[in-house]
Amino acid sequence: MANRSNQFRTVAGIVSCVFIASALTTSSAYANDDEARADTIAACNEAARLLEANDIDGALEEADWCREGLQQMKQQQTLAVFPDAVDGYIGGEVSNEGALGMVILGREYTKGDKNIKLELTTGAVAGGLGNLSELINAFGAAGGSDGKKIRIQRRTVIDSSKGGTADLTVQLKSGGMMSVSSTSVSGDEAIEFLRAFPIAELDDAMSN
């Protein structure tokens, strides 16, 4: 019974991967990465074919490649909406890290001697940590946060800024979160920066 249950989860995972890969073929965000997209679609289709042939081990191996490719495609889709300039600030290189089912994208924006650092944290494709925003709410409800809540672009932002430094956390509708921090600008300045940042577009890209 356990083996049958595991095989069912395998089938569900592979079918989900194939469906997502097919849906992403029409996205313009990958127009310059056709080869990588084609490789991902091929891996997803091969996983389904091997499963149909009852080659579970082979299907699992291809499904791993399928999942990895989908995760990279999702990251590229998100990176595409990180603007190069916001409110006079110029963006530096985008960092990309992943661990324990999380993906952390970061970018630092600079204007003169001022800098603002953004970090976007999401769960991995089709899994990961789930809804990070719910964890933020639970943490705040338990008394773990003394920040005040404000609304920016219909998203909840927790402002924990103190003194002349900025510390903001944006709860995204897609389930991720974005932190905005700086030691060279105040919380009020960071909030104005955040109002000009395309939060909704970024959130929508993570939801698709």
pLDDT digits (tens, 9 = 90+) for 123-134: 644 344 444 445
Biggest CA pair distance of the chain: 64
| Position 53 in a domain | yes
> Same domain for 56 and 20?
yes
| Position 131 in a domain | yes
> Same domain for 120 and 45?
no
Q: Which of 21, 45, 74 is the last residue of a domain?
A: 74
Q: Which of 53, 74, 95 is the last residue of a domain?
A: 74
* Contact yes or no for 161/146 (Cβ under 8 A): no
pTM of the model: 0.62
Residue 157: which domain range?
85-207
| Position 79 in a domain | no
pLDDT digits (tens, 9 = 90+) for 47-83: 999 999 999 999 999 999 998 888 778 767 766 778 8
| Position 164 in a domain | yes
Closest among 180, 3, 19 to 87, alpha carbons compared = 180
pLDDT digits (tens, 9 = 90+) for 26-37: 343 444 468 888
Confidence category of residue 179, pLDDT binned at 50, 70, 90: very high
> Same domain for 90 and 67?
no
Listed in sequence order, the residues at least 6 apart from 22 whose beta carbon sits closer than 8 Å to its beta carbon are 41
Q: Which of 51, 74, 97 is the last residue of a domain?
A: 74
> Same domain for 155 and 102?
yes
Closest among 1, 2, 50, 25 to 14, alpha carbons compared = 50
| Position 29 in a domain | yes
CATH code of the domain containing 121: 3.30.200
Confidence category of residue 100, pLDDT binned at 50, 70, 90: low
Q: What is the pLDDT of residue 206?
A: 75
> Same domain for 53 and 147?
no
> Same domain for 92 and 26?
no
The number of folded domains in the chain is: 2
> Same domain for 58 and 150?
no
| Position 80 in a domain | no
Rounded distance, CA 208 to CA 203, Å? 9
